[in-house]
Structure 1
Amino acid sequence: MSPLPVITDYITPFLPLIQTSVVVGLLLWAAHLLIIKRYQSLGNERLFSRQLLMLALTFVGVVAIALALPVSDSSRNQVITLIGLVISGIFAFSSSTIFSNIMAGTMLRVTRPFRTGDFIEVGDCFGRVVERGLLDTEIQTENRELVALPNTYLITHPIYVTRSSGCIVSTTLSLGYDVHHSHVEALLLEAATTSGLDEPFVQVLELGDYSITYKVSGMLEDVKSLLTARSNLRRNVLDSLHGGDVEIVSPAFMNQRRLPDNARMIPARAKRTVLGSGSAVEDVVFDKAEKAEQYETSKRELIEHIKACTSELEAAVDNDKQRLKTLLADYQSQLKALRHARGEAADEPSDDDKETPTATDTPSRNDAQPG
């Protein structure tokens, strides 16, 4: 007896399963190329919705393969029920798995505690937000390093966000009891004012056994220059106190050299040398975050202009209609060029411009009226 019929009889019940598996695999591969691989340059934040769609398609593919199993209807229903239980169990017990990061990323998208370009501090990490992805959020630190923070870490730890409208810049120092606090406060206020801070104030934080702890603060409106402002404040505090004949020494200060009794630990005043304009600290440290924020800001402004122009076009008369259409087309051209420079496809809508009208699909009221 030929073994071929036996093999054929054995394989035939599995043919639907094999065919379904091949088709599902090819469809998922094609979907990955069209949905994610094609737009790889968009970054994690722009791929967020596409990654969720790909995850949903994968679940659908698994269910389709389960339906093609060569078993009875009751067994097939049990397999589908088992898959549902496994998926539910994954979501229920995924406190430290990939699915918890997906849910955390979705939660951050809904609550929006911060935006691209914001300064945030989470735990020991401080920096500017570069991208918000499906699984993690990328920030650029003060050392120009890119740090990926898991989304579960962000929702389980307090997030300190520096407001774009302004923030408080401060520094602390300890001085001895031999200097009157009113003299110190005046010098610290002078240093804060010289640093360009608004509404400066001084606090006495602690009366220690050997020294008084002061804190000088002020409002900084341009939060992008946060690092420079902190450095300038500390530098000006040194200049102001030394210029006021105030020593800055810690309680544990010890000098091994023999000095006269009337010697004071104040450096001689030196003429400040300007070495050149140079680059701002923030331009070097937060370059990627700065570019990401500039892109988001420019895109948001163009979308707002397009919406405003479209609203005016609906109520425009014949004299203004052509001018508004030209202006609208110019805004749309700028938006397209901006997205092209970023690496986005021209037909790729974002969260901000999903409902952005165009010059061709938004007729004015005068166009809608019969002649």
Structure 2
Amino acid sequence: MGHVRRAEQCRPAGQTGCDPPLCRRHRRQSQRTVSASTLAPLTAWLPSLIAAVAGFGALALLTWLLLRRKAVVGRQTRVWRHLTLALATIAVIVAVIATLPIEDTVRAQLLSFLGLLISGVIGLSSTSFVGNAMAGLMLRALNNIRPGDFVRVGEHFGKVSEFGLLHTELQSEERTLITMPNLHLVTNPVEVVRSSGTVVTATVSLGYDVSRQTATEALLDAARAAQLEEPFVHVLELGDFSVTYRISGLLPNVRYLITARSALREAMLDGLHKAGIEIASPTLMNQRQYPPQWRFVPHASTSTAPEPEQPRAENIVFDKAEAAETAERIRERLDELEQEIEAAHHDKDEERAARLEQARTHLRDKLNELES
């Protein structure tokens, strides 16, 4: 009977037993019930939506702070900033999965799948694209190779012109570019010439008729003429027909390593010939008959004109490597300027901060010219 009376009360106006206020109240209650049932799924997804929006918003802000705001940074800083972004991205994905309105078993399966995916990528690092990236990170952690360094890897020798995450590029003495994957550098011995100085050496064979003291004095004079510091001589071998000597000296400025090697050999030729010492490298064999007092030494030049100056080979063949080295030094100086500017603003020394900002602008313009 109650259902009948309520149905009669909600009849349209004009019919028997109709009460318009009760009808409107009933319709409002029905609409609220429908609205609540419609919004229930959206309410369940609301935490996930908030986590996703907040997480990716934080990633966008982090990207701007790390990469956009300070776009010009050093090699090490760039690598760590990209790693920071990668870890933050994984953290956001985990947070979104944790807030999904799903059963705990499904959530655990999604997190397990994410862990397996990351483990699989790391597991394939020894033989795949990721392997070179992992090798690049390892080389950066060791920090023993920098743009502009002279490097020998197997039969390849040159100056580092590019040091990327996946590959390293060398510029050879013939000005050719040699690209090697970083995995190759990690699995093979790498010789790096120290920027603080290196030892330049050359070997020569002299006859047994030349005393060791005379040979040593002539070779030391040649090393000094080639502007090598602290030269020394070693006897390497007592051969069947000649004695092999090695002259060595310290070259402080490794930028002109190729020229220094040639200059040492030129000085050895001139010094030994001037001293009347016969060079027997590698073995002196001559079937012609000569008097015993004959020496195979060229006559001294009678020309008084100065020897023409030759361009340094390094300035020609290592142009890209030199530019990469200069750019790397500018990036390091820009990092230092950023810290100095922040310190100046913190100390409220606006005049010093303005000077530093002007220097930073100049270096950024120079860096853009090198990279263009």
Q: Report the TM-score when normalising by structure 1.
A: 0.67
Q: Distance between the aligned counterparts of 1:91 and 1:230, measured in 2?
A: 45
CA offset digits 1:182-234 (Å, max 9, x no partner): 10000000000000011111111222333222111111111101000000001
Provide the rounded CA distance (Å) in 2 between the counterparts of 1:330 and 1:297: 18
2:330 matched residue in structure 1: 298
1:51 Cα offset (Å): 8.4
The alignment status of 1:238 with 2:269, answered yes or no, reads yes
TM-superposed deviation, 1:165: 1.4
Give the Cα–Cα distance (whole angstroms) in 2 for the partners of residues 300 and 78 of structure 1: 45
The answer to whether 1:281 aligns with 2:309 is no
TM-score, normalised relative to structure 2 = 0.67
- 1:330 matches 2:363: no
Q: C-alpha deviations, 1:82-105, integer Å up to 9, x for none?
A: 786576345335433222111101
User: Residue type matched to 2:201 in 1?
Assistant: S
> Is the 1:192–1:217 contact (alpha carbons within 8 Å) kept by the matching residues of 2?
yes
1:216 aligns with 2:244: no
Comparing 104-113 with 73-82, greater Cα deviation is found at 73-82
- Note closer, same or farther for the CA distance 1:310–1:53 as it changes in structure 2 (3 Å cut): closer
The answer to whether 1:102 aligns with 2:130 is: no
The Cα shift of 1:329 comes to 2.5
Q: What pairs up with 1:79-98 in 2 under 5 angstroms?
A: 85=116, 88-89=119-120, 91-98=122-129
Alignment gaps of 5+ in structure 2:
1-59, 65-71, 95-103
Q: Which amino acid counterpart does residue 326 of structure 1 have in structure 2?
A: A
AA aligned to 2:357 is: A
The alignment partner of 2:221 has SS state of: helix
Q: What does residue range 66-77 of structure 1 map to in structure 2 within 5 Å?
A: none
1:159 equivalent in alignment to 2:190? yes
User: Equivalents in 2 of 1:313, 1:53: separation in Å?
Assistant: 27
Matches within 5 A, 1:10-25: none
CA displacement 1:108-157 (0-9 Å, x = unmatched)? 12221121111122222211111111211111111111111111111122
1:367 equivalent in structure 2:
none
Per-residue Cα deviation, 1:17-66 (whole angstroms, up to 9, x for no partner): xxxxxxxxxxxxxx9xx99xxxxxx9xx7986898799999999xx9xxx
CA root-mean-square deviation: 4.1
8 A contact 1:210–1:251 mirrored in 2: no
Q: CA 1:89–1:307 in 2, change beyond 3 Å: closer, same or farther? A: closer
Give the corresponding residue for 1:340.
368
Identify the residue that residue 30 of structure 2 maps to in structure 1: none
**1:247 counterpart = 2:281:** no
2: distance between equivalents of 1:299 and 1:90? 32
Give the count of matched residue pairs.
Answer: 300
Equivalent residue of 1:116, what SS? coil
- Provide structure 1 residue ranges, at least 5 long, that are not aligned to the other structure: 1-30, 36-41, 64-72, 345-371
- Report how far residue 287 of structure 1 moved: 0.6
Q: Cα offset for 1:172?
A: 1.1
Q: 1:343 to 1:217 in 2, by over 3 A?
A: closer
Q: 2:242 touches 2:283 (CA, 8 Å); kept in 1? A: no
Do structure 1's residue 265 and structure 2's residue 296 form an aligned pair? yes
Distance 1:315 1:57, change over 3 A: closer
Q: Percent identity?
A: 40
Residues 272 and 77 (structure 1), Cα distance of their counterparts in 2 relative to 1, 3 Å cut: farther
The aligned amino acid for 1:294 is: T
Cα deviation 1:257-298 (Å, max 9, x = unaligned): x34224321112224865644421000111100011112223
| Distance across 2 between alignment mates of 1:306 and 1:208 | 62
More helix by share: 2
The reply to whether residue 170 of structure 1 matches residue 201 of structure 2 is yes
- Cα distance, 1:92–1:313 mapped onto 2, change above 3 Å: closer
Instruction: Please say which structure displays the higher CA radius of gyration.
Output: 2
- Residues in 1 aligned to 2:246 and 2:357: alpha-carbon distance in whole angstroms: 54
Distance, in Å, in 1 between the alignment partners of 2:244 and 2:134 is: 45
- CA distance, structure 2, for counterparts of residue 239 and residue 225 of structure 1: 21
1:24 is matched with: none
| Separation (CA, whole Å) in 1 of partners of 2:314 and 2:239 | 36
CA distance in 1, matches of 2:85, 2:154: 32
Alpha-carbon separation, structure 2, partners of 1:125 and 1:332? 37
